[in-house]
Structure 1
Amino acid sequence: MKRILFTEFFPEENREKSVANPCQMLLETNDKPLELSELEWLCTKGLVWIDLDSTEGEDMDFLARGCNFHPLAIEDCINKNQRPKLDEYESYLFIVLHRFQYDTERRTLKNNEIHIFFNEKFVVTVHQKDEPSIEQLKERCMTQGNPLSRGTDQILYMLFDQTVDSNFPILDKISEEIVRIESQILVNQDTQQTIAGILFLKRNLTRIRRILSPQREIVNSLIRRDNRFLSPKIQIYFRDVYDHLSRIYETIDMDRDLLGNTMDAYFSVISQRTNDIVKRLTLISLIFMPLTFLTGFFGMNFTTIPYANAPLLYITIGLMSLIPISMIFWFRKKHWFKD
């Protein structure tokens, strides 16, 4: 489905003053396909933002024949799992962005791709099915006014800003998970799922960092002085996006360090428990060592028990039996049976 989300028209006598008709700001084209002549007319009369929420054949034919976009860029729109990148063509830019979504119940992380065709006349966004960031941006633009009145680069900035800032709530949830796991370890309530949870969070952080790394390079390329597609005024805003990405990087690195410390604490607790078990087993061995000696000595094949008629034999056996009992009291006094 092709949608003209926003249009901005210029009067013929004064192109510096734009005229936005609220009735034409949002136009659904389910029944009537957007023709090439309409797109050409919109681009000659003003600016346009077109959104495609499908990569089916009809929409891709529109990009290829109607918009005359490069086949490699269209192929990237069709094929999933594209790396974030920026390709510069003769008259437009092609950008691939990734946006993450975090499922709190399942604690799973998935990313959605947004493909953007951009120049000073139009913005074309392509994505699979409904994309929350596009809908949120549309609502934001409807309340704040037509963003195309400030140029197509304003739409591009808002897309980047919306996509980058959506990572902060995800990182906050991951930080909460880290704190929860730390609390479980400290109060000795950790389970077998603890180490799995630590590794799962660490993998998610690594995945986010791997995706955001090329996106930071994209923003860095957009804020260069020799960029011919962005105005100097909007480049200042992209520097703010770059700062947000740097903050995200710092947060990810900090969370990864916390996870490393949490894993060390987990293994320390496990090692301490192992030492306590070994200590108890050692104490039990010491307690039963005198009894083992007695049973081993008198369990030999004697015809008659040595010293059987000696008056002190049974007294000696009784005293030796008191040794384990005294050892138990001694260990309890030293608190060796406690953790």
Structure 2
Amino acid sequence: MIVDCALYRHGRRVPGHIDPADACAETLDDPDSFVWVGVADPVGEEFERIVEAFDLPPLAVEDAINAHQRPKFEVYGETLFVVVKPVEYVDTEEVVRVGEVQIFIHKRFLVTVRHGAATALADVRHAAEENPTLLKHGPPAALHAILDRVVDDYDLVVDGVEVDIQQVEEQVFSGEAHMNPAARIFKLEREVLEFQRAVAPLLPAVDRLARGRLAEVVPELSAYFRDVHDHLLRTSTRIDGFRALLSSALQANLTQITVRQNEDMRRISAWVAIAAIPTMFAGIWGMNYDHMPELHWQYGYPLALGVMATACGLLYRRLRRAGWL
């Protein structure tokens, strides 16, 4: 369950493995050190030992264990609790998969708790360790590294969704009657909404960090958080644009279906009108075949058929010009 536990001094990782409780004790005597503990799917006594070692707030611990929290930012005394939603897009299924990462931040430690398909924080940790100048600012610097990676991954999801929306628009305006992408549009709308739920609530939290409203965030880090906030804001704007495009595509698709139905009804009505002509003449003359039309006339039957054919032909020509056939 404990993925990694490391002690950092002056932004550099202390070699070797260390127990979380021992690492926490090490930071008491050294203000330039902090502990970064990574946990995946917390259960059982092992996580309880971490909770006791770092004196994590009970309410936040409950959220971390149960998961399914909305992105948020809460303060519990000297400990900050942040929830972020890493997202990935499965293009073959057109599905947005949402993970969850809870982060406990203190001036002496940072504990990350992962659930589900979340960003691989090992890569984030390794990337942060390559920049000790930034990491020496402590847990807030590690928090920035996590947020930066999560928000960067949002771009991949945005690009994938954008391609699928373009394909849907092409289907809507292809003019092919057998194509009805309504189900695909509804599915994409649902996935975009799920994506927006991961992004939108995170904006005020990151904005608070960007404005330096927390004592733990040194001025040097505020600029980094502002960059993350700007990136997140652009992503949120693009998501809003996606929802508008999908709504327009759905409306256009429904309009085209209505137009096609009207065209079908006009064709049916046109053929019914044409069929009504011979029916009318047949009803008048009875069609009992004794020379007709005024009975006992040698050319009456051929004349009746000719009149029917001529009337039907003229009506067909008129309807054809009107675009009903």
TM range (shorter): 0.7 to 0.9
Q: Who is 1:159 aligned against?
A: 146
Aligned residue for 2:99, secondary structure, equals strand
- Aligned equivalents of 2:166, 2:103: Cα separation in 1: 38
Aligned to 1:328: 316
Over 3 Å counting, the alpha-carbon distance change for 1:168 and 1:224 in structure 2 is: same
For these two proteins, the number of residue pairs brought into alignment is 322
Name the CA distance, whole Å, in 2 between partners of 1:37 and 1:253.
47
Whole-Å Cα distance in 2 between the matches of residues 318 and 81 of structure 1?
77
Amino acid at match of 2:21: L
Q: Of the candidates 11, 21, 29, which is equivalent to residue 44 of structure 1? A: 29
* Deviating more after overlay: 131-140 vs 197-206: 131-140
Corresponding residue for residue 137 of structure 1: 124
Q: Distance in 2 between matches of 1:314 and 1:302?
A: 7
User: Secondary structure in 1 aligned to 2:122?
Assistant: helix
Alignment of structure 1 residues 167-316 onto 2, 5 Å: 167-189=154-176, 194-299=181-286, 307-310=294-297, 313-314=300-301, 316=303
Q: Compute the TM-score of the two structures, normalised by the length of structure 1.
A: 0.84
Shift in alpha-carbon separation, 1:4–1:207, aligned structure 2, 3 A: closer
**1: CA distance between counterparts of 2:239 and 2:131?**
32
Cα offset, 1:21, TM superposition:
5.6
Change (3 A) 1:5 1:63: closer
Residues 211 and 69 of structure 1, relative CA distance in 2, 3 Å threshold: same
Shift of 1:335: 7.1
Q: Which amino acid aligns with 1:37?
A: D
Separation in 2 of the partners of 1:181 and 1:209? 20
Aligned equivalents of 1:297 and 1:140: distance in 2? Answer: 92
Contact residue 48 and residue 148 of structure 1 kept, 8 A: no
The structural deviation recorded for 1:301 is 9.6
Residue 40 (structure 1) shift: 1.2
Over 3 Å counting, the alpha-carbon distance change for 1:164 and 1:306 in structure 2 is: closer
State yes or no: 1:102 paired with 2:67. Answer: no
Preserved CA contact (<8 Å) 1:63 1:74: no
Deviation at 1:225, TM superposition (A): 4.2
- Does 242-251 or 207-216 show the bigger shift? 207-216
Unaligned segments of structure 1, at least 5 residues: 10-17
- Map of 1:20 onto structure 2: 12
Across the aligned residues of Structure 1 and Structure 2, the Cα RMSD in angstroms comes to: 2.9
Equivalent residues in 2 for 1:4-19, closer than 5 Å: 4=4, 6-9=6-9, 18=10
What letter is aligned with 2:2?
Answer: K
Retained in 2: the 8 A contact 1:99–1:113?
yes
Distance 1:272 1:111 in 2: 39
Q: CA deviation at 1:328?
A: 3.0
1:136-164 deviations in whole A, cap 9, x for unaligned? Answer: 31342355457532432111111111112
| Secondary structure, aligned partner of 2:88 | strand
Under a length normalisation based on structure 2, what TM-score does the superposition of the two structures give?
0.87
C-alpha distance in 2 between matches for 1:125 and 1:7: 14
Aligned-pair CA distance for 1:305: 6.9
Q: Give the Å deviation of 1:300.
A: 8.8
Are 1:223 and 1:239, in contact at CA under 8 Å, matched by a contact in 2?
yes
Query: Counterpart of 1:74?
Result: 61
Alpha-carbon distance change, 178 to 226 in structure 1, aligned in 2, over 3 angstroms: closer
Distance 1:134 1:146 in 2: 20
> Deviation digits for residues 203-237 of structure 1, max 9, x if unmatched?
12222222322211211222344411211121121
Q: Give secondary structure in 1 for the equivalent of 2:86.
A: strand
Q: In the alignment, does 2:304 pair up with 1:317?
A: yes
Taking structure 1 as reference, are residues 78 and 247 closer, same or farther at Cα in structure 2, changes over 3 Å only?
same
1:88 aligned counterpart, secondary structure: strand
Is the Cα contact below 8 Å between 2:63 and 2:69 reproduced in 1? yes
- One-letter identity of the residue aligned with 2:221: I
**Judging changes above 3 Å, is the alpha-carbon distance between structure 1 residues 213 and 324 closer, same or farther for their aligned structure 2 residues?**
same
1:38 counterpart letter in structure 2: A
1:293 Cα deviation after fit: 0.3
Counterpart of 1:307 in 2: which secondary structure?
Answer: coil
Are the aligned partners of 1:73 and 1:94 in contact in 2 as well (CA < 8 Å)?
yes
Structure 2: unaligned runs, 5 residues or longer: none
AA in 1 matched with 2:249: T
316-325 vs 136-145, which moves further: 136-145
